[in-house]
């Protein structure tokens, strides 16, 4: 089994470094135990950076990690500040190297400048990584650091160094893809339940469903973190694009196999290690899983996600507060009709009106659901395809998939009626389609110009207002606009011009 090979290899490395550290201890400069723990940790860090021998360095690194493990919360925070403030580039040497390069630019002088600009802290972190368990300790250190970064911006240099090193240490070439099934070790399965970040796994029976014959689950592992998944993806094998998440998570009515499936739906991707935030794994994971599925199941020809839109509600609230005209008049009229004004009451703003009519289980009320559907689908399309105009960054899930070369294929009404889905996006979910023949072109267009690859169906939602508004000076009636936005037929019998 791959997991046993990896763990045996790691155990061998642990034994090797432990043996080196044991033999190097007599030669190491290790401060006396009598010193206060924080002071001792700081002295060990300085000693580690000054060590020249491999054995003595391993001994000091092991001792430092042992002390750090036992520090209380206050001392741990103080040590992180110590790392951020103490081990900085030599200002005079850096200035001299920069001046020399400016006077005579050359590859040699650029290398000297690069060397002087690198903070000694990076070398200290590399040496800490030599100790048994060093990688895990540094990942844990960054996890703690991220929790206090907003309040302590002075920690940013330390965070930047850790992220820089992790990007190299967790390079795709060092990652191992494994399929997770019901025979995987219980400890890994427990971690999947704990780390699931998109659709909560409600115990072992729920997990068993997600590992059934018509499901697949894959994860990346790294030999420095044995038994710890870095990221995992859950896949449903179905017929056609899935529109909603609840049917995918529900127990099957019978034993379902994958023989008739033609579509792989990636419905949950969860990063497991908070300390590795910002280190990209997902793009490699999806592309490799696509290749694995194509090899195992040649009948699978469609690869798509069923994704949340986590930033939509926040964006829409700001959009309607700043620009109430984001709604077409007919849309606004339909919303106001759902909230009769009390005598003498001030009319609600568009943003407040939306909040008022989405109270309770509004999606079970046919009048409210019908009035909201067209405008919210149209505005979701605008949100996911708009240029960056300062009204918030692109949706994080959209950025991930579009940046990986996916196409915005379909926007699904009431795709997730669970509490989180309704709170984040009024239940709307999205299919991002991974077409192997278009991935690279889509990726290049998005990264170079921000162009969002999208289907004709999504494009129709984006262009709907332009198609529905009359041309300048036209006397065309607007009575049929709302039915067309909602997907119906106008009163005059004219077909929809949006093509959706």
pLDDT digits (tens, 9 = 90+) for 137-196: 999 999 999 999 999 999 999 999 999 999 999 999 999 999 999 999 999 999 999 999
Q: Which of 47, 307, 425, 498 is catalytic?
A: 307
The answer to whether 183 and 153 are in contact (CB under 8 A) is: no
If we measure between CA atoms, which residue out of 402, 375, 398, 367 comes closest to residue 487? 375
Whether residue 5 is predicted with pLDDT greater than 60 in this model: the reply is no
Domain membership of residue 56 (yes or no) is yes
Euclidean distance between CA atoms 295 and 292, whole angstroms? 5
Q: Report the mean per-residue pLDDT for the chain.
A: 86
Q: Which of 270, 401, 425, 498 is catalytic?
A: 401
If we measure between CA atoms, which residue out of 179, 406, 436 comes closest to residue 301? 436
Does residue 460 sit in the same domain as residue 339? yes
DSSP 21-61: HHHHGGGS----TTS-HHHHHHHHHHHHHH---HHHHHHHH
Its sign, for the CA torsion 206, 207, 211, 216, is: positive
Does residue 200 sit in the same domain as residue 142? no
Does residue 291 sit in the same domain as residue 363? no
Choosing from 276, 305, 334, the residue where a domain stops is: 305
Which residue's structure tokens are 């068993």?
Answer: 208
**Per-residue pLDDT, 373:** 97
Does residue 49 sit in the same domain as residue 147? yes
199 catalytic? Reply is no
Does residue 77 sit in the same domain as residue 212? no
25 falls in which pLDDT band (50, 70, 90)? low
Full residue range of the structural domain in which residue 20 is found: 2-169
Euclidean distance between CA atoms 488 and 491, whole angstroms? 9
Does residue 331 sit in the same domain as residue 240? no
Does residue 151 sit in the same domain as residue 276? no
Query: In the chain, how many domains are there?
Result: 3
53 falls in which pLDDT band (50, 70, 90)? low
Which CATH number do you get for residue 56?
1.20.140.90
Which CATH number do you get for residue 209?
3.40.630.180
Does residue 144 sit in the same domain as residue 199? no
Domain membership of residue 323 (yes or no) is yes
Domain membership of residue 184 (yes or no) is yes
The answer to whether 432 and 412 are in contact (CB under 8 A) is: no
Whether residue 366 is predicted with pLDDT greater than 70 in this model: the reply is yes
Does residue 123 sit in the same domain as residue 99? yes
pLDDT digits (tens, 9 = 90+) for 387-417: 654 445 789 999 999 999 999 999 999 999 9
Euclidean distance between CA atoms 18 and 4, whole angstroms? 21
The answer to whether 80 and 144 are in contact (CB under 8 A) is: yes
Does residue 434 sit in the same domain as residue 299? no
Whether residue 421 is predicted with pLDDT greater than 90 in this model: the reply is yes
DSSP 363-430: GGSHHHHHHHHHHHHHHHHHHHH----SS-PPPHHHHHHHHTT-EEEEEETTS--SHHHHHHHTT-EE
Choosing from 255, 270, 305, the residue where a domain stops is: 305
Which CATH number do you get for residue 393?
3.40.630.150
The answer to whether 427 and 416 are in contact (CB under 8 A) is: yes
Does residue 292 sit in the same domain as residue 432? no
Choosing from 305, 328, 347, the residue where a domain stops is: 305
Domain membership of residue 484 (yes or no) is no
Angle between helices 91-103 and 107-117 (to 10 degrees): 160
76 catalytic? Reply is no
Euclidean distance between CA atoms 13 and 283, whole angstroms? 30
The answer to whether 201 and 193 are in contact (CB under 8 A) is: yes
pLDDT above 70: percentage of residues in the chain? 83
pLDDT digits (tens, 9 = 90+) for 429-487: 999 999 999 999 999 999 888 899 999 999 999 987 765 554 443 334 333 333 333 33
Whether residue 106 is predicted with pLDDT greater than 80 in this model: the reply is yes
**Per-residue pLDDT, 32:** 58
Does residue 157 sit in the same domain as residue 45? yes
């Amino acid at each position: 089994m791959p997991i046993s090979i990896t763990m045996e290899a790691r155990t061998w490395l642990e034994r090797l470094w432990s043996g080196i550290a044991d033999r190097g201890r007599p030669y190491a400069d290790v401060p006396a135990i009598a010193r206060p723990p924080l002071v001792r940790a700081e002295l060990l860090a300085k000693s580690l950076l000054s060590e020249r021998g491999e054995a003595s360095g391993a001994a000091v690194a092991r001792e430092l990690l042992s002390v750090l493990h036992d520090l209380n919360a206050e001392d741990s925070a103080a040590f992180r500040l110590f790392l951020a403030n103490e081990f900085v580039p030599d200002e005079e040497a850096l200035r001299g190297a920069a001046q020399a390069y400016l006077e005579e630019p050359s590859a040699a002088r650029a290398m000297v400048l690069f060397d002087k600009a690198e903070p000694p802290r990076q070398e200290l972190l590399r040496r800490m990584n030599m100790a048994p368990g060093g990688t895990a300790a540094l990942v844990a250190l960054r996890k703690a650091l991220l929790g206090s970064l907003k309040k302590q911006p002075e920690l940013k240099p330390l965070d930047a160094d850790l992220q820089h090193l992790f990007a190299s240490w967790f390079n795709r070439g060092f990652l191992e893809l494994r399929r997770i099934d019901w025979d995987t070790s219980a400890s890994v399965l427990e971690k999947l339940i704990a780390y699931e970040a998109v659709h909560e796994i409600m115990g072992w029976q729920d997990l068993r469903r997600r590992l059934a014959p018509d499901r697949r689950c894959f994860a990346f592992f790294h030999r420095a973190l044995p038994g710890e998944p870095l990221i995992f993806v859950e896949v449903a094998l179905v017929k056609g694009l899935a529109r909603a998440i609840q049917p995918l998570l529900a127990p099957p009515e019978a034993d379902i196999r994958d023989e008739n499936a033609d579509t792989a739906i990636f419905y949950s991707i969860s990063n497991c290690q908070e300390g590795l935030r910002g280190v990209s794994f997902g793009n490699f994971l999806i592309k490799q899983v696509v290749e694995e599925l194509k090899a195992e199941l040649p009948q699978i020809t469609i690869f798509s996600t069923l994704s949340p839109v986590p930033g939509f509600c926040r964006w829409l609230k700001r959009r309607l507060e700043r620009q109430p005209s984001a709604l077409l008049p007919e849309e606004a009229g339909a919303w106001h009709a759902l909230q009769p004004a009390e005598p003498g009451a001030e009319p609600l703003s568009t943003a407040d009106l939306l909040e008022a009519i989405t109270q309770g289980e509004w999606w079970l009320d046919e009048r409210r659901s019908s009035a909201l559907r067209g405008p919210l689908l149209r505005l979701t399309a605008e949100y996911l395809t708009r240029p960056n105009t300062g009204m918030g960054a692109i949706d994080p899930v959209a950025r991930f998939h579009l940046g990986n070369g996916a196409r915005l294929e379909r926007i699904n009404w009431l795709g997730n009626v669970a509490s989180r889905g309704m709170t984040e996006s009024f239940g709307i979910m999205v299919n991002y389609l991974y077409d192997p023949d278009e991935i690279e072109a889509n990726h290049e267009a998005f990264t170079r110009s921000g162009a969002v690859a999208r289907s004709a169906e999504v494009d129709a939602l984006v262009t709907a207002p332009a198609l529905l508004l009359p041309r300048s000076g036209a006397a065309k009636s607007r009575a049929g606009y709302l039915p067309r936005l909602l997907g119906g037929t106008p009163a005059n019998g004219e077909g929809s011009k949006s093509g959706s």
